Structure 1
Amino acid sequence: MAGPSGSAARSARSGPRAPSTGRLRRTLLASLVAAAVVFPMSAAASPDVPAPAPAAFTQDAAPHERYAANRANLAEAARMAEDAGRTGRAVRLRAMEAAGAAQFLAFDGRGRGRAVEVFGDLGSADRVAVLVPGSDTTLDTYQRFRAGAVSLQQRLQAEHPRSAVVAWLGYDTPGTVSTTVLTTDRAGEAAAELGRFLDRLRGMTGPDGRLSLLCHSYGSVVCARTVTGPAVVDMVLFGSPGTGAGSARQLPTGARVWAGRGSGDWIGTVPHVRLGGLGFGTDPVDPAFGARSFAAGAAGHSDYLKPGTESLESLVAIVLGTTPTAEAPHA
């Protein structure tokens, strides 16, 4: 009997066919993205706590009316959380109450929670920074987000009294340990919310008001999908894993697009790939992306707004319309 052909013999000796190089590469890259994005941070679980429905307003409600109604809603949410035995949430809400005459344009204490807080006088401000947070920012971690807003406002006020900061926790941020944080799905829904908010915000500021979007981590994915009007003059991406877009020109905004990353930020180790909807593609600090660069110094992932940092000084300069120190090109 004739023996097997050469090709058949080689197949028999080699056993089952190995996966293609392309498939192996895609699997490896996807695993690297997951490992780099998910594991450096731990998620904070948010209990499904009872709370009153958000206060309802007419379209032309003045900011001071919104502030008063939302402070009352916050107090009631704290009481309901305490009565339900959700002491951790109750303590955090009481801390938000204790911050003084808090100025919330929106507040929802249900579930993971949402809050939009103003620092400064919107009515007289002609420079307004809107902070958009990243993953795992909830009412349970709100004080960390708020501290950055306060730090930014203090520096802005020192340079330009007619300034304000808005901390916009206006969407359900993805959990860091989740598949959602590796896709743009949550960002698309959030971008629609942010776009509507920016349209309303413009009518609350001074007549010459200019808005800057400061977008951290997954918040940069949200901003990159937000359609902005002419009042938004700057969009700043920092600590960004990518945007899902190949270049700044593809973003739906006429604003100047900036990008910066601190040398101590672990997000710089994330592979900038996009495979079948997983990952976020081009690194915004790569010159090929086409964003303006700014110096972020040695900032770690959660350090960009800390007092005394080079990154904070750069962000202040952008909001005020002056020229920040440029970052050296990233390799």
Structure 2
Amino acid sequence: MRAARWRRIGLTVALAAAIVGSVTAGTSSPVPGTPAPPRLPPVQARTLDERYAANRDYLAAAEHAAHRLGDSYREGHLHQLRASGRQLLSFDARGDGQAVEVLGDLATADRIVVLVPGSDTTLDTFDYLGSRHASLAGGAHALHDEMRRLSPSSVAVVAWYGYHAPRTMSRDVATTARAEEGGRRLIALLGGLRTANAHAPVTFLCHSYGSVVCGSALSGMDTRTSAGLAGVAVFGSPGTGLRSTADLPVRVPLWAGRGTQDWIARAPHVSLSAFGTTLGFGTDPTSPSFGARPFAAGNSGHSGYLEPGSLPLRNLALICLGRGSAVSGG
């Protein structure tokens, strides 16, 4: 009992130090001359092409601005995002940015997946984060390909960098503040997806800090706002902000997996209120007490869950296809 108490105190001190002494996270200050995003029509089946076209034009203007400002690093990433055939549902070039990319036909898909990323996601890491498959766009492509390999169904994958993801070396990565903001935006996205395609079940796949975002979204849903949500899977998760699935206000299947080589297993699973915020993310979602459905993630490291040919990628694709009985357990 005494040892557990001292561990709890030690965690409080460590997280407090992160709050007080870390680099301030937050979206980067907009670079002067970076254009603001255009006004877009609401997300509907008939407006998708209009939104994609408007964002392509905006991307071109943002790339030109980066060139004019001498920011070759951002210019290169914007040029890659502007590649032919890419479909940006939402986009903002200011600061760390925002980008929501759609793979497949959102309006006619039989199933829709929303991939929610974790910390260090920015416009500059959207396509490459240490490796291609570790990035949001690369993981989305791998998942889309795997789902198409496993099923003839029409599928759409939404690579959702639609919230202000924290930086790993920041105070916000240890708190729920960014997740609460992201959770509200994720609920709004689900509503937009239902408007664009009322018949396709939607699955959230939530990696790392993204699982805290998904936990916040689930906590804020009711029967109406959760309509169409077929399931949620968290992986590489530090916690979801929930004590157990029994805390969920809606009954949605929730899966959890963690690779044997993932360093996140060493994260302390507690939730403390201090300094006007919540530190830590609660129960380990892969623990039996949490109540999630386990899926096997093999020997994946923290960034390897969506690596082509891997066990977790196959299991996550099966979950997204509604074939839970074929998923191998943890």
CA–CA distance in 1 between the matches of 2:138 and 2:63? 20
CA–CA distance in 1 between the matches of 2:280 and 2:244? 15
Q: 1:149 aligns with which of 140, 146, 151?
A: 140
Q: Specify whether residues 35 and 214 from structure 1 end up closer, same or farther in structure 2 by C-alpha distance, changes over 3 A only.
A: farther
Would you say how many aligned residue pairs link Structure 1 and Structure 2? Answer: 301
Q: Partner letter of residue 295 of structure 1?
A: A
Superposed displacement of residue 107, structure 1: 0.5
User: What do the CA deviations read for 1:111-164 (whole angstroms, capped 9, x no partner)?
Assistant: 000011000011210111000110110001100210000111111122234111
1:111 and 2:88 equivalent?
Answer: no
CA–CA distance in 2 between the matches of 1:128 and 1:213? 9
CA–CA distance in 2 between the matches of 1:126 and 1:35? 48
Superposed displacement of residue 27, structure 1: 3.0
Match of 1:232 in 2: 229
CA–CA distance in 1 between the matches of 2:211 and 2:147? 22
CA contact (8 A) 1:174 1:186 kept: yes
Superposed displacement of residue 32, structure 1: 6.3
CA–CA distance in 1 between the matches of 2:17 and 2:256? 23
Superposed displacement of residue 189, structure 1: 1.0
Superposed displacement of residue 29, structure 1: 2.4
Q: 2:65 aligns with which of 64, 73, 80?
A: 80
Query: Any idea what SS the aligned residue of 1:62 has?
Result: helix
1:260 and 2:257 equivalent?
Answer: yes
Match of 1:57 in 2: 40
| Farther off after superposition, 145-154 or 22-31 | 22-31
User: Which runs of structure 2 are paired with 1:104-253 in the superposition (5 Å)?
Assistant: 104-143=88-127, 144-158=135-149, 159-205=151-197, 207-226=198-217, 227=221, 228-253=225-250
Q: Specify whether residues 233 and 185 from structure 1 end up closer, same or farther in structure 2 by C-alpha distance, changes over 3 A only.
A: same
Superposed displacement of residue 97, structure 1: 1.3
User: What do the CA deviations read for 1:267-316 (whole angstroms, capped 9, x no partner)?
Assistant: 01111112222111100000100011111111111111110000000001
Q: Partner letter of residue 314 of structure 1?
A: N
Q: Which has the larger radius of gyration?
A: 1
CA–CA distance in 2 between the matches of 1:204 and 1:90? 32
CA contact (8 A) 1:295 1:324 kept: no
- Using the aligned pairs only, state the percent identity: 47
Q: Partner letter of residue 325 of structure 1?
A: V
CA–CA distance in 1 between the matches of 2:13 and 2:294? 29
CA contact (8 A) 2:114 2:205 kept: yes
CA contact (8 A) 1:237 1:259 kept: yes
RMSD of equivalent CA atoms: 2.3
CA contact (8 A) 1:46 1:140 kept: no
Query: Any idea what SS the aligned residue of 1:253 has?
Result: coil
Query: Any idea what SS the aligned residue of 2:250 has?
Result: coil
Q: Partner letter of residue 35 of structure 2?
A: P
Match of 2:329 in 1: 327
Query: Any idea what SS the aligned residue of 2:203 has?
Result: strand
Q: Specify whether residues 212 and 24 from structure 1 end up closer, same or farther in structure 2 by C-alpha distance, changes over 3 A only.
A: same
Structure 1 unaligned regions, length at least 5: 1-19, 37-42
Superposed displacement of residue 22, structure 1: 7.8
Q: Specify whether residues 252 and 220 from structure 1 end up closer, same or farther in structure 2 by C-alpha distance, changes over 3 A only.
A: farther
Match of 1:283 in 2: 284
Superposed displacement of residue 170, structure 1: 0.5
Match of 1:40 in 2: none
Structure 2 unaligned regions, length at least 5: 19-24, 128-134
TM-score, normalised relative to structure 2: 0.85
1:92 and 2:67 equivalent?
Answer: no
1:270 and 2:267 equivalent?
Answer: yes
Q: Specify whether residues 253 and 83 from structure 1 end up closer, same or farther in structure 2 by C-alpha distance, changes over 3 A only.
A: farther
User: What do the CA deviations read for 1:150-197 (whole angstroms, capped 9, x no partner)?
Assistant: 111111122234111000100110111111110111111111111111
| Farther off after superposition, 273-282 or 310-319 | 273-282
Query: Any idea what SS the aligned residue of 2:196 has?
Result: coil
